[in-house]
Amino acid sequence: MDMEQNNLQPQEYQPPQEYQQPQQPQQPGPQPYQPYQQPPQPMKFCKHCGGRIPADAVVCTLCGRQVEELAGSKQAANMPIVINNNNNNNNNNNNNVVAGPGVVYMPQGRARSKWVAVLLCFFVGWLGAHKFYEGKIGMGVLYLFTMGLFGFGILIDFITLIFKPDPYYV
């Protein structure tokens, strides 16, 4: 019984110690990835923005302005600049037809009466009648289905037709 009593006696409380991972010896073989670190480059300051740039930079990597003269620019400065500007644009638009005796010049297109088109536009423009009269079938169908482009097309066409010459050509 004495043995049982010795085991049951209270002992002093000891707080748990922090866990420390056991150190493992370095083993030859693959090592954990460590990114390659470049050796420090000589740096200089940009004279425009004051930022640090590589010493061999000709153009600032921060502001984009030229910091140094280009290699060989002294030779280029002594050479003359030759500008060859031979732009000979010959536009021969001969719309002036010289008609001989008995020859009558007719402009291209079909002649249409200004006043017929104005009246068609004013009275039945919402059906596109003036567009069909001019031979513009696609626009006539569009005016037919949209009631003259919702009235705006009729107004614009009416004003345009009033200021056209009589006869006008389409």
pLDDT of 9 reads 64
pTM above 0.75, yes or no: no
R_g (Cα) of the chain, nearest Å: 47
Q: Which residue has the tokens 């400065």?
A: 77
**Domain-located, residue 50:** yes
**How many helices (DSSP H) and strands (DSSP E) are in the chain?**
6, 4
| Domain assignment present for 71 | yes
Domain identity same for 123 and 74: no
Note whether residue 165 is domain-resident.
Answer: yes
Look at residue 144 in the predicted model and tell me its pLDDT.
Answer: 93
How confident is the model at residue 99, as a pLDDT? 60
Low-confidence ranges of the chain (pLDDT < 50): none
- Number of domains the chain contains: 2
Question: Whole domain around residue 146: which residue ranges?
Answer: 111-169
**Residue 116 and residue 165 in one domain:** yes
Query: Quick one: 115 and 76 in the same domain?
Result: no
* Alpha-helical segments (H) within 9-112: 73-78
Query: For position 73, what pLDDT does the model report?
Result: 63
Assess whether 122 and 77 both reside in one domain: no
User: Model confidence over 50-100: pLDDT tens digits?
Assistant: 889 988 888 898 898 988 877 666 666 677 778 777 777 776 666 655 566
The pLDDT score that the predictor gives to residue 36 is 72
| Residue 118 forms part of a structural domain | yes
The reply to whether 5 falls in a domain is no
Residue 87 neighbours by CB under 8 Å, 6+ apart:
none
Establish if 144 belongs to a structural domain: yes
Q: Is residue 9 part of a domain?
A: no
Dist CA 152 CA 146 (whole Å): 10
156 found inside a domain:
yes
Pairing relationship of beta strands 43-45 and 52-54 according to DSSP bridges:
antiparallel
